[in-house]
Every structure is written in C-alpha cells, then in structure tokens.
C-alpha cells in the first residue's frame, strides 16, 4: 500500500467516524427537541391554570372589598347605636341590641376570615404552580 492509499484510507475512516458522530448528535438533538416541546405543552397548561386562578382571585378580591364596605357600614352603625344607647330606658334593651349587633359583627368577621384564608390558599397554590414551571 502506497503512502497515498494509506492517507486516503485514513481520510475515509475519519469521515466514517465523523458521520457516526453526526448521527449520534442528530439523535440527541431530536430527543432534546421532543423534550422541549413536551415541556412547552406543560408550561402552556400551567399558564392556563394560572390564568384561571388569577380570575378566581380577582373575584375573591371583589368579594373581600364588598365585605369590607359592609364592615365599615356595620362599624358606623355600631358607633351610631353606641351614641343612642345612653338614651335607652333599660339595661335589658341595651343588652338585647348589643347582642344582636355583636352577632352580626361576629358573622361578618367570620366571613372575612374565611375569605382571607381562601385567598392565602390560592396564593400558596399559585406559588406551587410557579415552582413547578
């Protein structure tokens, strides 16, 4: 075998190794592309879920705002009633009115607490979803 034939044989062998390496790299790129596409789909699904959660949180925020307005009205009424208490005739009437007002106030406070808990739960869920992405 001449020197020229040996060089050609080496070149052919190197070309074959290069072709095999290119095939391997192409397979890896294809597999990585499929993984990226799958992750993109998961991100899209999580984005939709996040949008839905945001809408629910907006609705809950509106409810909290309305309830805070109601709470302000109740407090104003309580202050007004407190001013009138001094003019009531008997302590029994005062106790009855105070009892009713406290019941209403307790009910509103309980509702606000529950809404706050739901809001914090939604925020925690959204944080977990963002952590998955």
pLDDT by residue, tens only, the chain of 133 residues: 688 889 989 988 989 999 999 999 999 999 999 999 999 999 999 999 999 988 988 888 888 888 888 888 888 888 888 777 666 656 677 778 888 888 988 888 888 888 888 888 888 888 888 776 5
Residue with the two structure tokens 């302000």: 72
What is the number of H-type helices and E-type strands within the chain? Answer: 2, 0
Q: Is 35 exposed, middle or buried (0-12, 13-18, 19+ CB in 10 A)?
A: exposed
Question: With the C-alpha atoms ordered 101, 103, 106, 110, is the resulting torsion angle positive or negative?
Answer: negative
Domain that residue 14 falls in: 3-132
Tokens of 65: 């705002």
Residue with the two structure tokens 């307790």: 106
Q: Please indicate, yes or no, whether the overall pTM of this predicted structure exceeds 0.75.
A: no
Residue with the two structure tokens 């706050």: 116
Count: domains in the chain = 1
């Amino acid at each position: 075998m001449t020197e020229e034939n040996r060089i050609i044989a080496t070149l052919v062998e190197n070309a074959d190794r290069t072709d095999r390496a290119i095939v391997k790299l192409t397979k890896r790129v294809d597999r990585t592309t499929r993984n990226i596409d799958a992750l993109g789909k998961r991100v899209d699904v999580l984005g939709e879920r996040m949008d839905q959660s945001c809408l629910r949180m907006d609705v809950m925020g509106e409810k909290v705002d309305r309830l805070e307005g109601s709470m302000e009205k109740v407090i104003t009424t309580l202050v007004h009633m407190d001013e009138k208490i001094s003019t009531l005739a008997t302590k029994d009437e005062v106790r009855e009115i105070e009892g009713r007002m406290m019941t209403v106030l307790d009910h509103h406070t309980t509702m606000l607490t529950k809404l706050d808990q739901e809001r914090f739960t939604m925020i925690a869920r959204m944080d977990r979803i963002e952590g998955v992405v």
